[in-house]
Structures are given as C-alpha cells and as structure tokens.
Amino acid sequence: MTIAVVLILVSAFLHAAVNILTKRADDKYAMRLLIGVFSAIMVMPFLFFVPLPQGRAVWLLLLTAAVHAVYELFVVKSYESSAFSAVYPVARGTGPLFTALGAILLLGEPAPVVEIAGILMISGGVIALGLSHRQTEGAGTGLLYALATGLTIGCYTVIDASGVRSVENPFSYVLWFFVAYGAAVLVTAPGIRGRAVVVEARRQWRLGILLGLLALGTYGLAMLAYRYGATAKLAALRETSVLFGAAMATRFLGERMSGPRWLAAGAIAAGAILLQAGP
C-alpha cells in the first residue's frame, strides 16, 4: 500500500466525520464558515516555515478559493433540502466522474481500463447508496444540489492536484490553500446570508474549532496524496468516505441501512479493491 493510498483513506474517514458533524449543526452554513475561518487561523503560525507560492500556484489558489466558496453553498443547500445519507453519496459519487474527466483532459493523466472500471464501480455504488434512501419531501431539490456539489468537487480536485504539484514544497500550497479558502468563505458567507450567519457562527464556535482541525486533516492529507499519485484514482478512492459516513449516520443520526444499500456499499468496496489491482 503506497503512502498516497494511506493518506487518502485517512482523509476519507476524517471527511465523513466532518460531514456528519456538520449535518448535526443547527446552522450548517454558519458551521462551514467557522470551518474555513478556524482552519485558516490554525495554519497561520506555520506559514513562516514554508516559502510563498509563486507564479502559477498563486492563480490556482485564487481559483480554488472561488470554487470552494461555491461548493460550500451547494453542500449546505443539499444538506438542508434532504437526508444526509441521500445527498452526501450523490455529491461524492459524481465528484470522481468529473475529476476523472478533468484529469484526462486537463492534466493529461492516462486512464487505464482497470482504473476506469474501478472509478465507475465506486461512483455507481456511491450514487446507488444515495438513491436507495427513502425519498422525502424536498429530495428532488436536494439531489440537484448534490449533483452541483459533485461538479464543484471535480473542479477543485483538479485545480488543487495541479497546484500542489506546481510548487517545490507541497506544504507551501497546502497551508496557503487554507488561508485562501478561509478568506473566501469569510467574504461570501455573510454576503449570501447576511449578519444572521455571523450571529449563528458565534453561538457554535466550539464545534467550529473541532471541525476546523478535522478539515485540516481531511483535505490537507488529500492534497498531499494528489502530489504523489494519480488524481482520478485517488479521488475515487477518497469517496469510500461514504462507507464511513453511512456507518456514522446509522450510529449517530438514526438512519438505517437496507439490503440494497448494503449491496451498493459492497460495490464501493469492490471498486476500491479493483483500483488497487490496477497499475
């Protein structure tokens, strides 16, 4: 098992935890604001020990900050519109498909047949896991937001994989990413929700600190993994987070796993194994 695979699997587990805790927050958009702000604050002391990003990396940081701001809006809208275990898998399942397309067309990465098959199995299983959930009021709207979330996931994954490879020291891009991300949500969240989101953020700041710390792990590790491995393959493997998410939703949110959903989970696991069997 390579270092990139280890990094991405730890990232997947932490990602599921972040999303479960965000789902339980009273105001989810306020919580996403806190995640951005606290993660930026936490990395600031370490900025003195890494070189400043230059040239192309700076433009990629600005671009990913903008895409992440849009992502935050879509992910919160999806959580507010439907059940977590319905929208989370659809968003995460379509993300690798958009990522694979971008990696092939924009990054020029090869796409072996085995790898494509593994990505399709994971994405298909993830989407099936979400669609098998009992439909509730607003489910259609939630799934549309989840699909839009998947598109933004594909966009920022390709951007950040390119960015972390464009610098000599990968921590230079990773640390400054969180600063750019925090600045983006600090500007856009109040602009979209007004003063109310700031009031709610103040009320939930304790949970925000925890989630900000977890966010450093989940996406920081993912970016480091992209530095050392194939983008599409690792992005798909990261979506095994839905298995962790489903288990956590069953335990902490009272959501149940049916027979079809267990089959979908099996397809995700099989796809992950297939990815590792490839070149």
Distance of alpha carbon 38 from alpha carbon 159, whole angstroms? 23
More confident residue, 222 or 136: 222
Question: Which position has the higher pLDDT, 147 or 197?
Answer: 147
Residue with tokens 């991300």: 181
The tokens for 57 are 């990396």
* Mean pLDDT, the chain, integer: 83
Q: What is the mean pLDDT of residues 206-213?
A: 90
Which pLDDT tens digit goes with each residue over 155-190? 999 999 999 999 999 999 999 999 999 998 888 777
Q: pLDDT tens digits, residue range 127-151?
A: 776 666 555 555 577 788 888 999 9
Amino acid present at 53:
P
> What proportion of the chain, given as a percentage, has pLDDT over 90?
31
Residue 153's pLDDT band (boundaries 50, 70, 90)? very high
Under 8 Å between Cβ of 250 and 257: yes
Residue that wins the pLDDT comparison between 46 and 262: 46
